[in-house]
Structure 1
Amino acid sequence: MTATILEPSSHTRARTASEYAGPRAESARAVVQRSDFQMIAQHMFSLMMRNVASDGFLVEDPVEQGRFAKPGCIIAAPSYPANSPGVDQDYVFNWTRDAAITAMELVASGMPAKPASGVEPLEDYVRFAAICQGNAIPTLAHACFTIEGNSRPWTEQNDGPALQTLAVLRAFTQLDEPTRDLARQVIGRNLDFLIGAYQQQTTNVWEEHSGYSFFARAVQLRCFREISTNTIGVTVPADVGKRPTGCGAP
Protein backbone atom coordinates (compact mmCIF):
# COMPACT_ATOMS: atom_id res chain seq x y z
CA MET A 1 0.00 0.00 0.00
CA THR A 2 1.26 3.42 -0.89
CA ALA A 3 0.12 6.69 0.60
CA THR A 4 0.92 10.31 -0.01
CA ILE A 5 0.64 12.96 2.69
CA LEU A 6 -1.45 15.91 1.55
CA GLU A 7 -0.89 19.46 2.69
CA PRO A 8 -3.04 19.70 5.85
CA SER A 9 -3.54 23.43 5.44
CA SER A 10 -5.25 22.97 2.09
CA HIS A 11 -7.99 20.42 2.53
CA THR A 12 -8.13 19.07 6.09
CA ARG A 13 -10.99 19.54 8.49
CA ALA A 14 -11.01 22.08 11.31
CA ARG A 15 -8.88 21.58 14.40
CA THR A 16 -10.33 20.00 17.51
CA ALA A 17 -11.01 21.94 20.68
CA SER A 18 -8.08 20.26 22.44
CA GLU A 19 -5.69 21.96 20.04
CA TYR A 20 -6.61 25.42 21.31
CA ALA A 21 -4.94 26.93 24.34
CA GLY A 22 -6.76 28.65 27.17
CA PRO A 23 -9.54 27.69 29.58
CA ARG A 24 -12.45 25.66 28.29
CA ALA A 25 -15.99 26.85 28.86
CA GLU A 26 -18.15 24.46 30.83
CA SER A 27 -21.74 23.75 29.79
CA ALA A 28 -24.66 21.76 31.12
CA ARG A 29 -24.32 18.02 30.61
CA ALA A 30 -27.07 15.61 29.67
CA VAL A 31 -27.53 12.69 32.05
CA VAL A 32 -27.27 9.87 29.52
CA GLN A 33 -28.18 7.09 31.94
CA ARG A 34 -31.57 8.68 32.65
CA SER A 35 -32.33 10.05 29.20
CA ASP A 36 -34.92 8.85 26.69
CA PHE A 37 -33.07 8.20 23.45
CA GLN A 38 -36.26 8.57 21.42
CA MET A 39 -36.57 12.09 22.80
CA ILE A 40 -32.88 12.79 22.20
CA ALA A 41 -33.31 11.66 18.59
CA GLN A 42 -36.01 14.30 18.07
CA HIS A 43 -33.65 17.03 19.26
CA MET A 44 -30.82 15.73 17.10
CA PHE A 45 -33.11 15.51 14.07
CA SER A 46 -33.98 19.19 14.46
CA LEU A 47 -30.29 20.07 14.62
CA MET A 48 -29.63 17.99 11.50
CA MET A 49 -32.43 19.70 9.57
CA ARG A 50 -30.81 23.04 10.37
CA ASN A 51 -28.20 22.11 7.77
CA VAL A 52 -30.65 21.13 5.01
CA ALA A 53 -31.59 23.96 2.64
CA SER A 54 -35.00 24.21 1.00
CA ASP A 55 -36.99 26.84 -0.86
CA GLY A 56 -38.50 27.82 2.49
CA PHE A 57 -35.33 27.60 4.61
CA LEU A 58 -32.45 29.52 3.07
CA VAL A 59 -28.76 29.28 3.93
CA GLU A 60 -26.72 32.34 2.96
CA ASP A 61 -23.10 32.21 1.87
CA PRO A 62 -21.14 33.75 4.79
CA VAL A 63 -18.50 35.10 2.40
CA GLU A 64 -20.73 36.45 -0.36
CA GLN A 65 -23.88 37.99 1.03
CA GLY A 66 -26.89 37.66 -1.22
CA ARG A 67 -25.90 34.20 -2.47
CA PHE A 68 -28.11 31.43 -1.13
CA ALA A 69 -28.08 27.65 -1.07
CA LYS A 70 -30.14 25.82 -3.63
CA PRO A 71 -32.82 23.50 -2.21
CA GLY A 72 -31.31 20.12 -1.41
CA CYS A 73 -27.91 21.49 -0.44
CA ILE A 74 -26.80 19.93 2.86
CA ILE A 75 -24.05 21.93 4.51
CA ALA A 76 -21.55 20.15 6.74
CA ALA A 77 -22.15 22.63 9.56
CA PRO A 78 -23.05 26.30 10.04
CA SER A 79 -19.56 26.86 11.47
CA TYR A 80 -17.70 29.87 10.11
CA PRO A 81 -14.72 31.66 11.68
CA ALA A 82 -16.47 35.02 11.94
CA ASN A 83 -19.27 33.64 14.11
CA SER A 84 -17.70 30.52 15.65
CA PRO A 85 -14.77 31.29 17.97
CA GLY A 86 -12.22 28.48 17.97
CA VAL A 87 -13.08 27.33 14.43
CA ASP A 88 -10.62 28.24 11.70
CA GLN A 89 -12.44 26.78 8.68
CA ASP A 90 -15.62 27.47 6.75
CA TYR A 91 -17.97 24.47 6.80
CA VAL A 92 -20.78 26.12 4.83
CA PHE A 93 -20.27 23.79 1.88
CA ASN A 94 -21.85 20.57 0.61
CA TRP A 95 -19.61 17.51 1.01
CA THR A 96 -20.92 14.61 -1.10
CA ARG A 97 -20.25 12.05 1.64
CA ASP A 98 -21.81 14.04 4.47
CA ALA A 99 -24.86 14.91 2.38
CA ALA A 100 -25.44 11.27 1.39
CA ILE A 101 -25.30 10.05 4.99
CA THR A 102 -27.69 12.81 6.03
CA ALA A 103 -30.08 11.86 3.21
CA MET A 104 -30.07 8.25 4.45
CA GLU A 105 -31.12 9.51 7.88
CA LEU A 106 -33.92 11.55 6.29
CA VAL A 107 -35.14 8.39 4.55
CA ALA A 108 -35.11 6.45 7.81
CA SER A 109 -36.99 9.19 9.67
CA GLY A 110 -40.23 8.61 7.77
CA MET A 111 -40.89 12.24 6.90
CA PRO A 112 -44.39 12.94 5.52
CA ALA A 113 -44.88 13.22 1.78
CA LYS A 114 -46.67 16.06 0.06
CA PRO A 115 -50.14 15.21 -1.29
CA ALA A 116 -49.86 13.35 -4.61
CA SER A 117 -46.09 13.79 -4.48
CA GLY A 118 -43.03 12.68 -2.54
CA VAL A 119 -40.93 13.75 0.43
CA GLU A 120 -39.74 17.22 -0.49
CA PRO A 121 -36.31 17.23 1.25
CA LEU A 122 -35.41 13.97 -0.50
CA GLU A 123 -36.57 15.25 -3.87
CA ASP A 124 -34.52 18.39 -3.30
CA TYR A 125 -31.53 16.20 -2.42
CA VAL A 126 -31.75 14.30 -5.71
CA ARG A 127 -32.08 17.50 -7.74
CA PHE A 128 -29.11 19.09 -5.98
CA ALA A 129 -27.05 15.91 -6.50
CA ALA A 130 -27.75 16.20 -10.23
CA ILE A 131 -26.62 19.85 -10.21
CA CYS A 132 -23.36 18.90 -8.49
CA GLN A 133 -22.77 16.08 -10.96
CA GLY A 134 -23.15 18.53 -13.82
CA ASN A 135 -20.60 20.87 -12.24
CA ALA A 136 -18.14 18.27 -10.90
CA ILE A 137 -14.56 19.12 -11.87
CA PRO A 138 -12.38 17.21 -12.64
CA THR A 139 -14.40 14.01 -11.93
CA LEU A 140 -17.61 12.83 -10.30
CA ALA A 141 -15.51 11.98 -7.25
CA HIS A 142 -15.07 15.66 -6.47
CA ALA A 143 -15.84 15.82 -2.77
CA CYS A 144 -17.00 19.34 -2.00
CA PHE A 145 -19.31 21.88 -3.61
CA THR A 146 -20.52 25.39 -2.92
CA ILE A 147 -24.03 25.90 -1.60
CA GLU A 148 -25.08 26.65 -5.18
CA GLY A 149 -23.72 23.32 -6.44
CA ASN A 150 -20.47 24.47 -8.04
CA SER A 151 -17.13 22.71 -7.58
CA ARG A 152 -14.75 24.37 -5.16
CA PRO A 153 -11.00 23.63 -4.96
CA TRP A 154 -10.88 20.30 -3.10
CA THR A 155 -9.88 16.65 -3.41
CA GLU A 156 -11.31 13.68 -5.31
CA GLN A 157 -12.84 11.03 -3.00
CA ASN A 158 -14.13 7.90 -4.71
CA ASP A 159 -16.46 6.87 -1.91
CA GLY A 160 -18.73 9.85 -2.63
CA PRO A 161 -20.50 8.57 -5.77
CA ALA A 162 -21.05 5.19 -4.09
CA LEU A 163 -22.59 6.71 -0.97
CA GLN A 164 -24.69 9.08 -3.05
CA THR A 165 -26.00 6.12 -5.07
CA LEU A 166 -26.89 4.23 -1.89
CA ALA A 167 -28.72 7.29 -0.55
CA VAL A 168 -30.72 7.73 -3.76
CA LEU A 169 -31.61 4.02 -3.82
CA ARG A 170 -32.97 4.27 -0.28
CA ALA A 171 -34.91 7.43 -1.09
CA PHE A 172 -36.39 6.13 -4.33
CA THR A 173 -39.79 4.99 -3.03
CA GLN A 174 -40.29 8.39 -1.37
CA LEU A 175 -39.84 10.37 -4.60
CA ASP A 176 -42.43 11.53 -7.12
CA GLU A 177 -42.22 10.15 -10.65
CA PRO A 178 -40.28 13.01 -12.30
CA THR A 179 -37.69 12.89 -9.51
CA ARG A 180 -37.46 9.10 -9.86
CA ASP A 181 -36.49 9.58 -13.50
CA LEU A 182 -33.78 12.03 -12.43
CA ALA A 183 -32.66 9.65 -9.67
CA ARG A 184 -32.04 6.90 -12.24
CA GLN A 185 -29.89 9.32 -14.23
CA VAL A 186 -27.88 10.29 -11.14
CA ILE A 187 -27.30 6.63 -10.31
CA GLY A 188 -26.36 5.78 -13.90
CA ARG A 189 -23.72 8.51 -14.08
CA ASN A 190 -22.26 7.40 -10.75
CA LEU A 191 -22.06 3.79 -11.91
CA ASP A 192 -20.31 4.75 -15.14
CA PHE A 193 -17.69 6.54 -13.03
CA LEU A 194 -17.32 3.88 -10.34
CA ILE A 195 -16.74 1.03 -12.77
CA GLY A 196 -13.59 2.77 -13.92
CA ALA A 197 -12.51 4.14 -10.54
CA TYR A 198 -13.15 1.61 -7.80
CA GLN A 199 -9.72 -0.02 -8.06
CA GLN A 200 -7.88 3.28 -8.02
CA GLN A 201 -6.32 5.15 -5.12
CA THR A 202 -8.27 7.99 -3.56
CA THR A 203 -8.13 10.62 -0.85
CA ASN A 204 -9.15 9.18 2.52
CA VAL A 205 -12.21 10.17 4.56
CA TRP A 206 -10.28 12.63 6.77
CA GLU A 207 -8.76 14.23 3.70
CA GLU A 208 -5.19 13.82 4.91
CA HIS A 209 -3.79 10.93 2.85
CA SER A 210 -4.03 9.52 -0.65
CA GLY A 211 -3.87 5.77 -1.20
CA TYR A 212 -6.00 2.63 -1.23
CA SER A 213 -8.95 3.16 1.09
CA PHE A 214 -10.70 0.29 2.87
CA PHE A 215 -13.69 2.54 3.56
CA ALA A 216 -14.03 3.63 -0.06
CA ARG A 217 -13.75 0.05 -1.34
CA ALA A 218 -16.31 -1.14 1.24
CA VAL A 219 -18.99 1.38 0.27
CA GLN A 220 -18.27 0.80 -3.42
CA LEU A 221 -18.83 -2.93 -2.88
CA ARG A 222 -22.07 -2.24 -1.02
CA CYS A 223 -23.17 0.03 -3.86
CA PHE A 224 -22.44 -2.60 -6.53
CA ARG A 225 -24.23 -5.31 -4.57
CA GLU A 226 -27.37 -3.23 -4.11
CA ILE A 227 -27.36 -2.18 -7.76
CA SER A 228 -27.02 -5.81 -8.86
CA THR A 229 -30.41 -6.60 -7.28
CA ASN A 230 -32.20 -3.30 -7.90
CA THR A 231 -35.83 -3.29 -9.02
CA ILE A 232 -36.14 0.39 -9.96
CA GLY A 233 -35.13 0.06 -13.59
CA VAL A 234 -31.42 0.88 -13.33
CA THR A 235 -29.39 -1.18 -15.79
CA VAL A 236 -26.81 -3.33 -14.03
CA PRO A 237 -23.37 -2.79 -15.61
CA ALA A 238 -21.94 -5.98 -17.08
CA ASP A 239 -18.94 -5.97 -14.74
CA VAL A 240 -21.19 -5.60 -11.70
CA GLY A 241 -23.40 -8.50 -12.73
CA LYS A 242 -20.48 -10.93 -12.94
CA ARG A 243 -19.63 -13.28 -10.10
CA PRO A 244 -16.47 -11.99 -8.31
CA THR A 245 -13.35 -13.95 -9.21
CA GLY A 246 -10.85 -12.22 -6.95
CA CYS A 247 -10.41 -9.76 -4.11
CA GLY A 248 -10.33 -6.85 -6.54
CA ALA A 249 -13.68 -7.65 -8.18
CA PRO A 250 -16.90 -5.83 -7.25
Structure 2
Amino acid sequence: MRFTLLASLIGLALGAFAQSSAVDAYVASESPVAKQGVLNNIGPNGSKSHGAKAGIVVASPNTENPNYLYTWTRDSSLVFKLLIDQFTSGEDTSLRTLIDQFTSAEAILQQVPNPSGTVSTGGLGEPKFNIDETAFTDPWGRPQRDGPALRATAIIRYADWLLDNGNTTYVENTLWPVIRLDLDYVAADWNQSTFDLWEEINSSSFFTTAVQHRALREGAAFASRLGQSGVVDGYTSQADNLLCFLQVGSRFIAT
Protein backbone atom coordinates (compact mmCIF):
# COMPACT_ATOMS: atom_id res chain seq x y z
CA MET A 1 0.00 0.00 0.00
CA ARG A 2 0.96 3.64 -0.42
CA PHE A 3 0.83 3.91 3.36
CA THR A 4 3.91 1.66 3.65
CA LEU A 5 6.04 4.47 2.30
CA LEU A 6 4.32 7.08 4.49
CA ALA A 7 4.74 4.89 7.57
CA SER A 8 8.44 4.51 6.85
CA LEU A 9 8.78 8.27 6.42
CA ILE A 10 6.95 8.96 9.68
CA GLY A 11 9.07 6.40 11.49
CA LEU A 12 12.23 8.02 10.23
CA ALA A 13 11.03 11.47 11.26
CA LEU A 14 10.29 10.36 14.82
CA GLY A 15 13.96 10.83 15.68
CA ALA A 16 13.37 14.56 16.01
CA PHE A 17 10.80 14.06 18.75
CA ALA A 18 12.47 11.49 20.98
CA GLN A 19 12.07 12.46 24.67
CA SER A 20 12.80 9.46 26.89
CA SER A 21 15.62 6.96 26.94
CA ALA A 22 13.17 4.24 25.95
CA VAL A 23 12.04 6.25 22.95
CA ASP A 24 15.66 7.11 22.14
CA ALA A 25 16.53 3.43 22.12
CA TYR A 26 13.56 2.58 19.95
CA VAL A 27 14.36 5.33 17.48
CA ALA A 28 17.99 4.29 17.32
CA SER A 29 17.00 0.77 16.36
CA GLU A 30 14.04 1.69 14.16
CA SER A 31 15.53 4.59 12.18
CA PRO A 32 17.75 2.44 9.93
CA VAL A 33 14.80 0.14 9.24
CA ALA A 34 12.49 3.05 8.45
CA LYS A 35 15.09 4.72 6.26
CA GLN A 36 15.67 1.54 4.30
CA GLY A 37 11.92 1.30 3.81
CA VAL A 38 12.03 4.75 2.23
CA LEU A 39 15.00 3.92 0.02
CA ASN A 40 13.34 0.68 -1.11
CA ASN A 41 10.66 2.77 -2.84
CA ILE A 42 13.04 4.96 -4.87
CA GLY A 43 14.00 3.98 -8.42
CA PRO A 44 15.81 2.53 -10.10
CA ASN A 45 17.50 0.30 -7.51
CA GLY A 46 15.04 0.12 -4.62
CA SER A 47 13.72 -3.34 -3.88
CA LYS A 48 10.13 -2.10 -4.26
CA SER A 49 10.66 0.26 -7.18
CA HIS A 50 11.00 -2.12 -10.13
CA GLY A 51 10.31 -0.26 -13.36
CA ALA A 52 10.74 3.21 -11.86
CA LYS A 53 13.05 5.73 -13.47
CA ALA A 54 16.00 7.06 -11.49
CA GLY A 55 14.97 9.38 -8.67
CA ILE A 56 11.30 8.44 -8.88
CA VAL A 57 9.58 7.73 -5.56
CA VAL A 58 7.11 4.87 -5.87
CA ALA A 59 4.07 5.31 -3.65
CA SER A 60 3.61 1.54 -3.41
CA PRO A 61 4.43 -1.56 -5.44
CA ASN A 62 0.79 -2.63 -5.03
CA THR A 63 -1.03 -2.82 -8.37
CA GLU A 64 -4.56 -3.82 -7.42
CA ASN A 65 -7.22 -3.15 -4.79
CA PRO A 66 -6.01 -0.39 -4.98
CA ASN A 67 -3.37 0.34 -7.59
CA TYR A 68 -0.79 2.74 -6.12
CA LEU A 69 2.08 2.07 -8.50
CA TYR A 70 2.47 5.78 -9.21
CA THR A 71 4.59 8.68 -8.08
CA TRP A 72 2.99 11.67 -6.32
CA THR A 73 4.70 15.06 -6.39
CA ARG A 74 3.64 15.63 -2.77
CA ASP A 75 4.96 12.31 -1.47
CA SER A 76 8.19 12.52 -3.45
CA SER A 77 8.95 16.03 -2.25
CA LEU A 78 8.30 15.19 1.40
CA VAL A 79 10.48 12.08 1.15
CA PHE A 80 13.34 13.97 -0.42
CA LYS A 81 13.02 16.96 1.93
CA LEU A 82 13.89 14.54 4.72
CA LEU A 83 16.72 12.91 2.77
CA ILE A 84 18.09 16.31 1.73
CA ASP A 85 18.04 17.42 5.37
CA GLN A 86 20.02 14.32 6.31
CA PHE A 87 22.51 14.94 3.53
CA THR A 88 23.02 18.66 4.14
CA SER A 89 23.41 18.13 7.89
CA GLY A 90 26.21 15.65 7.24
CA GLU A 91 24.22 12.75 8.68
CA ASP A 92 24.37 10.77 5.44
CA THR A 93 26.68 12.04 2.71
CA SER A 94 25.98 8.99 0.53
CA LEU A 95 22.62 10.44 -0.55
CA ARG A 96 23.91 13.00 -3.03
CA THR A 97 23.59 10.86 -6.17
CA LEU A 98 20.03 9.93 -5.23
CA ILE A 99 19.17 13.59 -4.62
CA ASP A 100 20.60 14.59 -8.00
CA GLN A 101 18.51 11.86 -9.61
CA PHE A 102 15.42 13.19 -7.86
CA THR A 103 15.95 16.76 -9.07
CA SER A 104 16.54 15.49 -12.62
CA ALA A 105 13.42 13.33 -12.53
CA GLU A 106 11.28 16.20 -11.25
CA ALA A 107 12.61 18.48 -14.00
CA ILE A 108 11.40 15.91 -16.51
CA LEU A 109 7.98 15.55 -14.87
CA GLN A 110 7.47 19.31 -14.88
CA GLN A 111 7.56 19.24 -18.69
CA VAL A 112 5.22 16.26 -19.20
CA PRO A 113 1.84 17.35 -20.65
CA ASN A 114 -0.95 15.89 -18.54
CA PRO A 115 -4.70 16.27 -17.89
CA SER A 116 -4.06 19.37 -15.75
CA GLY A 117 -2.28 21.09 -18.64
CA THR A 118 1.22 21.76 -19.88
CA VAL A 119 4.09 23.35 -17.99
CA SER A 120 2.71 26.78 -18.94
CA THR A 121 -1.02 26.06 -18.61
CA GLY A 122 -1.42 24.46 -15.17
CA GLY A 123 0.27 21.09 -15.62
CA LEU A 124 2.46 21.63 -12.57
CA GLY A 125 -0.64 21.02 -10.45
CA GLU A 126 -0.97 17.44 -11.68
CA PRO A 127 -0.82 15.26 -8.55
CA LYS A 128 0.70 12.03 -9.84
CA PHE A 129 2.46 10.36 -12.76
CA ASN A 130 3.36 6.89 -13.91
CA ILE A 131 6.68 5.67 -12.56
CA ASP A 132 8.19 5.67 -16.08
CA GLU A 133 7.76 9.48 -16.12
CA THR A 134 4.69 9.47 -18.38
CA ALA A 135 1.36 11.14 -17.65
CA PHE A 136 -1.41 9.44 -15.71
CA THR A 137 -4.51 10.16 -17.79
CA ASP A 138 -7.38 8.46 -15.93
CA PRO A 139 -9.85 10.45 -13.82
CA TRP A 140 -8.44 11.76 -10.52
CA GLY A 141 -8.75 14.59 -8.03
CA ARG A 142 -6.81 17.25 -9.89
CA PRO A 143 -5.22 19.72 -9.59
CA GLN A 144 -3.42 19.42 -6.25
CA ARG A 145 -1.53 22.65 -5.81
CA ASP A 146 0.65 21.74 -2.82
CA GLY A 147 3.05 19.65 -4.92
CA PRO A 148 4.98 22.47 -6.60
CA ALA A 149 5.39 24.30 -3.28
CA LEU A 150 6.71 21.22 -1.50
CA ARG A 151 9.06 20.42 -4.37
CA ALA A 152 10.43 23.97 -4.39
CA THR A 153 11.04 23.85 -0.63
CA ALA A 154 12.95 20.58 -0.90
CA ILE A 155 15.13 21.63 -3.82
CA ILE A 156 15.83 25.08 -2.35
CA ARG A 157 17.30 23.39 0.73
CA TYR A 158 19.66 21.39 -1.49
CA ALA A 159 20.47 24.39 -3.67
CA ASP A 160 21.38 26.49 -0.63
CA TRP A 161 23.82 23.79 0.45
CA LEU A 162 25.32 23.68 -3.04
CA LEU A 163 25.81 27.45 -3.01
CA ASP A 164 27.49 27.20 0.37
CA ASN A 165 29.88 24.69 -1.16
CA GLY A 166 30.74 26.57 -4.33
CA ASN A 167 28.42 24.90 -6.84
CA THR A 168 26.91 28.13 -8.12
CA THR A 169 26.90 27.24 -11.83
CA TYR A 170 24.95 24.02 -11.30
CA VAL A 171 22.43 25.80 -9.12
CA GLU A 172 21.93 28.66 -11.56
CA ASN A 173 21.79 26.55 -14.72
CA THR A 174 20.08 23.37 -13.51
CA LEU A 175 18.20 23.83 -10.24
CA TRP A 176 17.00 27.42 -10.43
CA PRO A 177 14.91 26.83 -13.59
CA VAL A 178 13.13 23.95 -11.82
CA ILE A 179 12.62 25.95 -8.65
CA ARG A 180 11.40 29.03 -10.49
CA LEU A 181 8.78 27.11 -12.46
CA ASP A 182 7.27 25.88 -9.21
CA LEU A 183 7.49 29.24 -7.46
CA ASP A 184 5.96 31.08 -10.40
CA TYR A 185 3.11 28.56 -10.44
CA VAL A 186 2.50 29.06 -6.71
CA ALA A 187 2.63 32.84 -6.99
CA ALA A 188 0.16 32.86 -9.89
CA ASP A 189 -2.31 30.17 -8.81
CA TRP A 190 -2.30 29.94 -5.01
CA ASN A 191 -5.75 31.52 -4.79
CA GLN A 192 -7.37 28.91 -7.03
CA SER A 193 -9.24 25.92 -5.63
CA THR A 194 -7.36 22.66 -5.10
CA PHE A 195 -7.99 19.09 -4.11
CA ASP A 196 -6.91 18.43 -0.55
CA LEU A 197 -4.38 16.03 0.94
CA TRP A 198 -6.86 13.16 0.78
CA GLU A 199 -7.72 13.95 -2.83
CA GLU A 200 -11.43 14.16 -2.13
CA ILE A 201 -12.54 17.81 -1.75
CA ASN A 202 -11.95 20.57 -4.29
CA SER A 203 -11.85 23.76 -2.24
CA SER A 204 -9.35 25.77 -0.22
CA SER A 205 -6.87 23.78 1.85
CA PHE A 206 -5.08 25.04 4.96
CA PHE A 207 -2.20 22.63 4.37
CA THR A 208 -1.80 23.69 0.77
CA THR A 209 -1.91 27.38 1.64
CA ALA A 210 0.60 26.91 4.46
CA VAL A 211 3.17 25.11 2.30
CA GLN A 212 2.66 27.63 -0.50
CA HIS A 213 3.38 30.45 1.95
CA ARG A 214 6.57 28.77 3.11
CA ALA A 215 7.70 28.11 -0.45
CA LEU A 216 7.30 31.74 -1.48
CA ARG A 217 9.07 33.07 1.63
CA GLU A 218 11.99 30.72 1.13
CA GLY A 219 11.83 31.29 -2.61
CA ALA A 220 12.14 35.05 -2.23
CA ALA A 221 15.16 34.66 0.03
CA PHE A 222 16.77 32.16 -2.32
CA ALA A 223 16.11 34.27 -5.41
CA SER A 224 17.67 37.24 -3.66
CA ARG A 225 20.72 35.16 -2.84
CA LEU A 226 21.05 34.21 -6.52
CA GLY A 227 20.69 37.81 -7.60
CA GLN A 228 17.31 37.15 -9.24
CA SER A 229 15.93 40.48 -8.05
CA GLY A 230 13.22 40.60 -10.69
CA VAL A 231 11.11 37.96 -8.95
CA VAL A 232 11.76 38.74 -5.28
CA ASP A 233 9.10 41.44 -4.89
CA GLY A 234 6.47 39.31 -6.63
CA TYR A 235 7.14 36.28 -4.43
CA THR A 236 7.18 38.43 -1.29
CA SER A 237 3.95 40.20 -2.23
CA GLN A 238 2.11 36.95 -2.86
CA ALA A 239 3.54 35.44 0.33
CA ASP A 240 2.03 38.41 2.20
CA ASN A 241 -1.31 37.71 0.54
CA LEU A 242 -1.07 34.04 1.46
CA LEU A 243 -0.36 34.90 5.08
CA CYS A 244 -3.37 37.19 5.17
CA PHE A 245 -5.52 34.43 3.70
CA LEU A 246 -4.24 31.98 6.31
CA GLN A 247 -4.97 34.39 9.15
CA VAL A 248 -8.47 35.19 7.92
CA GLY A 249 -9.21 31.50 7.42
CA SER A 250 -7.96 30.67 10.90
CA ARG A 251 -10.18 33.30 12.49
CA PHE A 252 -13.16 32.05 10.51
CA ILE A 253 -12.58 28.46 11.68
CA ALA A 254 -12.15 29.64 15.27
CA THR A 255 -15.52 31.34 15.24
Asked if these proteins are the same fold (TM beyond 0.5), I'd say: yes
Q: Which residue of 135, 152, 160 corresponds with 2:136? A: 152
Kindly report which structure 2 residues correspond to 1:89-100, keeping only aligned pairs within 5 A, or say none: 89-100=66-77
TM-superposed CA distance for 1:171, in Å, is: 1.8
Q: Which structure 1 segments of 5+ residues have no match?
A: 1-12, 15-31, 61-67, 82-87
Q: Which moved more, 1:42-51 or 1:101-110?
A: 101-110
Q: Which residue of 216, 226, 229 corresponds with 1:224? A: 216
TM-superposed CA distance for 1:148, in Å, is: 1.6
**Whole-Å Cα distance in 2 between the matches of residues 241 and 184 of structure 1?**
17
Q: Check if 1:169 corresponds to 2:156.
A: yes
**Whole-Å Cα distance in 1 between the matches of residues 217 and 43 of structure 2?**
31
> Contact conserved, 1:198 with 1:220, CA < 8 A, in 2?
yes
Q: Which structure 2 segments of 5+ residues have no match?
A: 4-21, 118-122, 247-255
**Partner SS state of residue 109, structure 1:** helix
Q: Check if 1:105 corresponds to 2:82.
A: yes
User: What does the per-residue CA deviation read over 1:52-77, in whole Å, with 9 as the maximum and x for residues that have no partner?
Assistant: 113x55833xxxxxxx3210100112
AA matched with 2:240: P
**Whole-Å Cα distance in 1 between the matches of residues 86 and 179 of structure 2?**
22
**Whole-Å Cα distance in 2 between the matches of residues 178 and 52 of structure 1?**
27
Find the counterpart in structure 1 of residue 15 from structure 2.
none
Find the counterpart in structure 1 of residue 35 from structure 2.
45
Find the counterpart in structure 2 of residue 10 from structure 1.
none
Kindly report which structure 2 residues correspond to 1:80-229, keeping only aligned pairs within 5 A, or say none: 80-81=63-64, 88-110=65-87, 111-113=92-94, 119-137=96-114, 138=117, 139-153=123-137, 154=140, 155-172=142-159, 173=161, 179-180=170-171, 181-229=173-221
Aligned-residue Cα RMSD (Å) equals 2.8
TM-superposed CA distance for 1:80, in Å, is: 2.5
User: What does the per-residue CA deviation read over 1:179-217, in whole Å, with 9 as the maximum and x for residues that have no partner?
Assistant: 533211111111221121101110011001100111110
Check 1:75–1:239 CA distance in 2 against 1; reply closer, same or farther (3 A cut). same
> Contact conserved, 1:143 with 1:156, CA < 8 A, in 2?
yes
TM-superposed CA distance for 1:229, in Å, is: 1.4
**Partner SS state of residue 247, structure 1:** helix
TM-superposed CA distance for 1:33, in Å, is: 5.9
**Partner SS state of residue 192, structure 1:** helix
Find the counterpart in structure 2 of residue 3 from structure 1.
none
Find the counterpart in structure 2 of residue 64 from structure 1.
none
> Contact conserved, 1:130 with 1:186, CA < 8 A, in 2?
yes
Higher RCO (CA 8 Å, separation ≥ 6 residues): 1
AA matched with 2:154: A
TM-superposed CA distance for 1:143, in Å, is: 0.5
**Whole-Å Cα distance in 2 between the matches of residues 122 and 232 of structure 1?**
21
- Paired residues, number: 203
Q: Check if 1:247 corresponds to 2:238.
A: no
**Whole-Å Cα distance in 1 between the matches of residues 227 and 28 of structure 2?**
36
TM-score by length of 2: 0.71
Find the counterpart in structure 1 of residue 6 from structure 2.
none
Check 1:178–1:57 CA distance in 2 against 1; reply closer, same or farther (3 A cut). farther
Percentage of matched positions with identical amino acids: 25
**Partner SS state of residue 244, structure 1:** helix
**Bigger Cα Rg:** 1
> Contact conserved, 1:97 with 1:164, CA < 8 A, in 2?
yes
